[in-house]
Amino acid sequence: MQPPPSNNRIFNFSPGPATLPESVLQKAASELVALPGVGSSILEVSHRGPVFTKYMNVARDGLRTLLAVPEDYEILFLQGGSRLQFAMIPMNFQRPQEKPAAYAITGSWGKKAFSEAQVTGNATAVWDGGADHYRSLPEQPFNLDPNQYSYCYYVSNETIQGVQFADEPDSGKIPLVCDASSDFLHKPLDISKYALLYACAQKNAGAAGVTIVIVRKDFVESARPELPGYLSFGSHVENQSLYNTPPTFAIYILALIVQWLIEDVGGLKKMHSQNLAKAQRLYEVIDQYQGLYTGHAEPHCRSLMNVVFRLKNESLLDLFLKEAEQNGLASLAGHRSVGGIRASIYNAMPVAGVHHLAEYMADFAAKHA
């Protein structure tokens, strides 16, 4: 097997907060006490001053470039994570006495979003994979009547079950809303297909604390007006993400991540190519050693970000995780609701880390299959 990193950094397969590019960490560390030419930390400067404004613009403009975000879309930096979006979206775009929102429940996070939407509005589950333990995804397109639903909500990648849409679902004329938290920026996207797309940064776009929302302007204009200020997307658009003090450090890290993707990686097409190769390597090992390993997701909807699998002999799980740790491979335990093993291989996971894990899995299978 390849040796683990020699600089005291392990290969961290945490599902989130997740591993960050080492160059980003080094830059942030070098600037933490005093930004170059400023003399103060990013943690100390005003969120309305020119220093922070520069970094917020770098993040916003970089996202617009990477994703080719059209001009009729706003890019917001909010707080509260997915949990707040679960409530804000139906509160803004669903009226209880009118058309329900359509929810495709493809895993744990879609289920949680649907539950919140039922509290704050009127929502209908148009697809639910729970009977099959969320191993597969609905067929395309959704074939929904545009006169019956206010919007269609889905999760592009379910972190816990490891199922992922390869392409954007076709919701027809119904506004499409997406939780892209765990595969944001892993490949190019056609943003024009969405009315709203959001992502929490701590998996693929930086540090915990900031939620990126990309929303079409006319969709914001259609929102309910009778909401408290912070819960209104319109308030955040009007105030350019400064309705309250934003998470300045998380936005600063996001700016560094965007620069890394553009300057070091070379854009999202190259990032996607790397992600395909990394995921393929792990799934090859799972399929090669079927006497020991079994994947959770059906092959056609396997996630490129979260590789979820089990040991057929579950009594070996603790040993697998213990020896993995000893080999510099950390945070591989599956979510408590699924069990087994989960390798989260987001953008910043080095190719070397994936190869090291694949070699460990092959060696372990040779000993125990």
Give the pLDDT confidence of 321-364 residue by residue, as tens digits.
999 999 999 999 999 888 899 999 999 999 999 999 999 999 99
Q: How far apart are CA 189 and CA 294, in angstroms?
A: 31
Output b/e per residue, 9-26; b: 16+ Cβ within 10 A.
eebbbbbbebbbbeebee
Residue 15 DSSP label: S
Q: How far apart are CA 340 and CA 310, in angstroms?
A: 4
Give the mean pLDDT of 244-257.
97
293 - beta bridge partners? 311
Range list of β-strands (E), the chain: 11-12, 73-78, 101-105, 123-128, 152-155, 157-158, 163-164, 176-179, 196-200, 211-216, 293-295, 306-311, 329-330, 341-344
pLDDT score of 96 more than 70: no
What pLDDT does residue 49 have? 95
- Chain position carrying tokens 């506004």: 175
Which residues carry out catalysis? 109, 179, 203
Q: Hey, what are 251's tokens?
A: 């936005």
Q: Does this model's pTM top 0.85?
A: yes
Give 136-151 pLDDT, tens digit per residue: 998 876 788 888 999 9
Kindly report, as residue ranges, where domains of CATH 3.40.640.10 are found in the chain: 26-265
Kindly report, as residue ranges, where domains of CATH 3.90.1150.10 are found in the chain: 267-368
pLDDT score of 5 more than 60: no
343 - beta bridge partners? 307
CB 167 within 8 A of CB 110: no
Whether domain 26-265 has CATH 3.90.550.10: the reply is no
Give 182's pLDDT tier (boundaries 50, 70, 90): very high
Average pLDDT score over the chain = 94
Short-list 152, 172, 150, 171, CA closest to 100: 150
The number of angstroms, rounded, from the C-alpha of 170 to the middle of its chain's C-alpha atoms is: 20
Reading phi first (left if > 0) and then psi (alpha if -120 to 50, else beta), residue 56 is in alpha
pLDDT score of 121 more than 90: no
Q: Hey, what are 89's tokens?
A: 């979206």
Q: What is the architecture of the domain spanning 267-368?
A: Alpha-Beta Complex (3.90)
